[in-house]
Amino acid sequence: MDLSLIFEIDDLTVGGVAPGSSPILDRISFRLNASDIFGIYGESGAGKTILSRALANWLPESLEYRAGRVAFAGHDILKSGVGEVRIGRDIAYIGSKPQSSLDPTVPVGSQIAEKLHSVRPEWNQRECRERVMQLLSEVRIPSPKERYWDYPAKFSGGMMQRAMIVDAICAEPAVLIADNVTQPLDVTIAAQIVALLHDLCLRHRMATIYLSSSLPTLGQFGDRTAILHQGRFVEQQAFAELMAAPQSDYTRRAIASVPRMWSTAEGPLARRQALGEVPLMQVQKVHRTYRARKRGTFNSYSNVQAVRGVTLDIMPRENFGIVGESGCGKSTLTRLLAWLEVPDQGSIQLNGTSLGSLSGGELIRKRNEFQLLLQDPYNALPPRTTVGRMIEESLLIRGNIRQAELRRRVIAAMTEVGLAAELYDQLPNALSTGERQRISIARALILDPKLLILDETLTALDQREQSRLIDLFTKLQQKNDLTYVFISHDLAMVRKVCTRIAVMYLGEMVEIADNRELFFDPQHPYTKALLSAAPTLEDKLFDPGDFLLEGEPPSPIDIPAGCSFASRCPKVFERCLAEAPVLFEHNAGRLAACHLLDQLDATPAATCADFGNGADLSDPSSRSGPHTRQQDRSVDVLPESVTKRKTRP
């Protein structure tokens, strides 16, 4: 390791410009040598983002430096007139919201090259362009020369975060500041980004400061780590020593709050279908394809197959989880389940009623029974509308109600989710992320729904606030008889709350199983890859060296023949390249689509309503017809009945 001191922070104190306001950061001190990686853990509100911006000399106008120094190579960057240090060239910054960091009307590569030329004017435009293309390849973006000219809308979340890494390191900085950059990413892409940052740090001799609200993520670096609480470092030491012998009560509580996946027997048990019980929601062979104009043409289009033949049942009062990488179709499936989009093929039924058969007025009334909670509470809530008005809006849409009764019901909903009644007439601008998410929950509960669809609802929260909301969801479920569908890439959260889990890859389900079976004995290689990539403080059952995926899934425009996972599967063999596997039940309640589990002499299965619900599938009367081996390759439709096959002896 290079021991030359490159970055030195002494007693850094930051506060508001208003006289008498308390400091937000209080006497922060640390030192970095070249190639060092320094992790900083903090919950929401601890001061991580303010600290990251303070280190880059990029404070908002409402804040000021009150004391201390930030020295780069011996030069205090906080002093006016220091021209030896340039932000963007010597010190680089990566934020946690890559999608909002670039101009949507300019190609990604052109924007990065323009920024590079501004901080390195001695490099001409051709040199800047070649440098950016080289780095796009280095961060493993496929087809970098073509992707250079793509617009931001063409990049997935993982690819956009890689592009922002290129933007940060293209000028060859000596210090890199990364603020929670993996929080919005799924586990496989996040693991790749962490490995990439570690590799780039050593290869380019960058000192790296990594701020995160996830202790397991910082553990993947394994270097010196500081705990930030209420604007102060409560302790800092090597990560292994921090886990073995934490010095402060706050650190011990933070470690205890991290969900475990394998070292605990906890986890909800899957409920079995009672005799005569029907699913609350039935999804049958649902497809959704988008038409995208081909670049450089006027009337040529590509078909983007976002959801391909999804079939599943959601039982009353269960917590059903859907997991998968970015781009696998989770968000599209969410919009279909919430009937914000209509499937091209297939049907979705709620309490026995097909949503596609309802008129506009009937659908509005039916929506009382199911509600959607979105990931980003900042964009989901109108900033110029009071809290009470936001929550009462859905009641006003659905009929006349007196103002006194309206206010009473809204305050009751606010109280139920833990919001103070005093917030009724206030704007949401000063509220935390957790409080904003509680507003969204109250907006949904005001209609007394039976099904809540949560699309990455807890992703933006730190682990302790996430735990509080999970406790709230549990209490609401017991009180209001709710059913939840959790769409998430947070496997630790899914392990803690979901009874049954479906794994989605490239628009289709590849495995469905009960909670414990999926985490301790997954059948599909893709499920094992997801589990191997999940950040955790415990020993993993699946070695990332054997299962960690590289790159991103194939394009949904050009899905390869055979198994769609074959190009990334560590167990691929000849049959996988020629024949698409069929989702079948190989044990009671366990479904997987993988040729590794395939057996001859398959027997037909009962309908999807019986999956995981204890039906006697050996009973000939439960079978729905002969199994069809050949699939329609053009739309990848599942056969008329999902098949059940014998397991290996």
Looking at residue 551, what is its pLDDT? Answer: 63
Residue for token pair 């669809």? 453
Cα 536 from Cα 398, distance rounded (Å): 45
Query: For 134-148, 306-320, 435-449, 523-537, which range has the lowest pLDDT when averaged over its residues?
Result: 134-148
Beta strands in 351-475 (DSSP E): 353-354, 370-373, 451-455
Helix (H, G, I), strand (E, B) or coil at 537: coil
CA-closest candidate to residue 221, choices 184, 181, 186: 181
Lowest mean pLDDT of 292-296, 525-529, 573-577, name the range: 292-296
For 456: left if phi > 0, alpha if psi spans -120 to 50, otherwise beta; the answer is left
Copy the structure tokens of residue 451.
């099904």
Amino acid at 286: V
Does 614 have pLDDT greater than 50? Answer: no
How is residue 459 written in tokens?
Answer: 């992703």
Mean pLDDT of the chain: 84
Alpha carbon distance 467, 185 (integer Å): 19
CB 370: neighbour CB atoms within 10 A? 23
CA distance 511 to 501: 8
Q: Taking the C-alpha atoms of 197, 202, 204 and 208 in order, what is their torsion angle to the nearest 10 degrees?
A: 50
| Its pTM surpasses 0.75 | yes
**Residue 99: pLDDT above 50?**
yes
Q: What is the pLDDT of residues 235-270, one digit of tens each?
A: 999 999 999 999 999 999 999 888 888 877 666 766
Structure tokens at 19: 């006289």
Mean pLDDT to the nearest integer, 441-450: 92
511-552 pLDDT, tens digit per residue, is: 999 999 999 999 999 999 999 988 888 888 888 888 877 766
Domains of the chain: 5-256 (3.40.50.300), 281-351+450-644 (3.40.50.300)
Of 261, 232, 259, which Cα lies nearest the Cα of 248?
232
Neighbours of 401 (CB within 10 A): 12
Q: In what order do the strands lie in the sheet with 319-323?
A: 370-373, 451-455, 483-487, 319-323, 500-505, 508-514, 590-592, 584-587, 643-644, 603-604
Question: Which spans in 502-611 are helix H?
Answer: 515-520, 525-533, 544-547, 574-578
Q: What angle do CA 610, 313, 394 make, to 5 degrees?
A: 150
pLDDT tens string 172-230: 899 999 988 887 677 887 887 788 888 888 888 899 999 998 899 898 877 899 999 99
In sequence order, what DSSP letters do the residues of 168-189 get, joined into one string?
HHTT--SEEEEESTTTTS-HHH
Q: In this structure, are strands 75-76 and 508-514 parallel, antiparallel, or unpaired?
A: unpaired
Question: Are residues 183 and 212 in contact, defined by beta-carbon separation less than 8 angstroms?
Answer: yes
SS (H, E, C) 262-309: CCCCCCCCCCCCCCCCCCCEEEEEEEEEEEEECCCCCCCEEEEEEEEE
d(CA 167, CA 206): 15
Nearest to 470 by CA among 489, 451, 449, 454: 454
Structure tokens at 54: 């303070």
Among all chains, which residue has been given the structure tokens 């997991």?
323
Under 8 Å CB-to-CB from 59, ≥6 apart: which residues? 14, 50, 53, 65
Q: What is the pLDDT of residue 633?
A: 30
Poorest-confidence range of 61-75, 89-103, 268-282? 268-282
For residue 431, which of 447, 412, 414, 444 has the smallest C-alpha distance? 414
Residue 558, judged by CB atoms within 10 A of its CB (0-12, 13-18, 19+), counts as: exposed
Q: Using an 8 Å Cβ cutoff, are 528 and 522 in contact?
A: yes
CA–CA distance, 273 with 267 (Å, rounded to integer): 19
CA dihedral 344, 347, 350, 356 (to 10 degrees): 60
Per-residue pLDDT at 272: 61
Task: For CA atoms 28, 34, 36, 39, give the dihedral sign.
Answer: positive
Q: What are phi and psi of 11, to 5 degrees?
A: 50, 45
28, pLDDT greater than 90: yes
3-state secondary structure string across 583-628 = CEEEECCEEECCHHHCCCCCEECCCHHHCCCCCCCCCHHHCCCCCC
